[in-house]
Structure 1
Amino acid sequence: MTFKNKLKRFFDMEDEYEEKEIVVEEEPEEYQPPARIKKSKKQERQNVVSLSSVTSQQGSKVMLLEPHSYDEVQDIADELKNRKAVVINLQRLPRDQARRIVDFLSGTVYAIGGDIQKLGEQIFLCTPDNVDVSGSISEMLHE
């Protein structure tokens, strides 16, 4: 009898009940946790995966959009938030609306850590942080 049981009986804290032994036909195997292998700090760092590298492996999409009014700028921003590059043609819009769209998208691109570049006369490329753009396009002289 264990010390705990003796102490319970001494203070009469144990309820009186009939003990029955339950026989199990198959005894389950005891769970043994896997042995822990001590890893070096270098090995632990190799298990960490950057989310930006995972998304870049899935491939990036480029959307070609030609908005007809300022009301469509939120849809363009949503595409950028979904990590898609967007080429926007603003040639068919009045100059003031085109400027407002570029201002809105500049703020969106800044917020997501992306980039905005001018490709041509009122044509812009907006990219999220998972898209790298190299090179530049020089402005053509008007004849």
Structure 2
Amino acid sequence: MSIKNKFRTLFSVEDEEYYEELAPDETEELSRRSQKQEKKDSKNVVSLKSVQAQTKVVLSEPRSYDETQDIADQIVNRRSVVINLQRVDYQQAKRIVDFLSGTVYAVSGEIQKLGPHTFLCTPDNVEITGNITQMVEDEEDFEQRW
């Protein structure tokens, strides 16, 4: 007996593999069983898409139209931005909102008015739910309610 045969008998290594043909019904049943087993095994798997870096919200109060590019860069970098436009005149505020609306559209985000001079711009990774109703009242009526 050669050394090769001694190793085969010692470790019972066989060159041939045994295959069995299954009927179509048995094949489908075996496939269903393996799918059920995969579902059971995948319960402990966590998708990495659900793990995200820390989300930031940037507060901005521009004093001129020149600061709009910095705000747009924040939105492009996937940060939400709350903008207070009380310190700019009406024409500049309108230009700022127009520019940021284009930026938000480009990143498939949303822009929402929060108050008379306040806007929220969010990229596509942030979902906004709910809305804030705006009541148009004179300051006198507002003071009388308190």
Band the TM-score falls in, shorter-chain normalisation: 0.5 to 0.7
Letter in 1 for 2:132: I
Q: Within 2, Cα distance between the matches of 1:103 and 1:122?
A: 14
* Aligned-residue offset at 1:123: 0.5
In structure 1, what is the equivalent of residue 91 of structure 2?
Answer: 96
Counterparts of 1:90-129 in structure 2, within 5 Å, are 90-129=85-124
Runs of 4+ aligned structure 1 residues displaced above 3 Å come to none
1:139 and 2:144 correspond: no
Matched, 1:130 2:91: no
TM-score by length of 2: 0.60
Q: In the alignment, which of 56, 59, 62 is matched to residue 57 of structure 2?
A: 62
More helix by share: 2
Number of residue pairs the alignment of both structures matches:
96
DSSP-derived class of the 1:92 partner: coil
Letter in 2 for 1:136: N
Mapped to 2, the partners of 1:68 and 1:79 lie a distance apart of: 17
Within 2, Cα distance between the matches of 1:127 and 1:65? Answer: 13
Partners of 1:141 and 1:71 in 2: CA distance: 30
Unpaired segments of 5 or more residues in structure 1?
A: 1-39
SS at match of 2:121: strand
Structure 2 residue aligned with 1:84? 79
* CA–CA distance in structure 1, aligned partners of residues 131 and 110 of structure 2: 13
Greater relative CO (CA pairs within 8 A, separation 6+): 1
| TM-score, normalization by structure 1 | 0.61
Shift of 1:91: 1.0
CA RMSD in angstroms comes to: 2.1
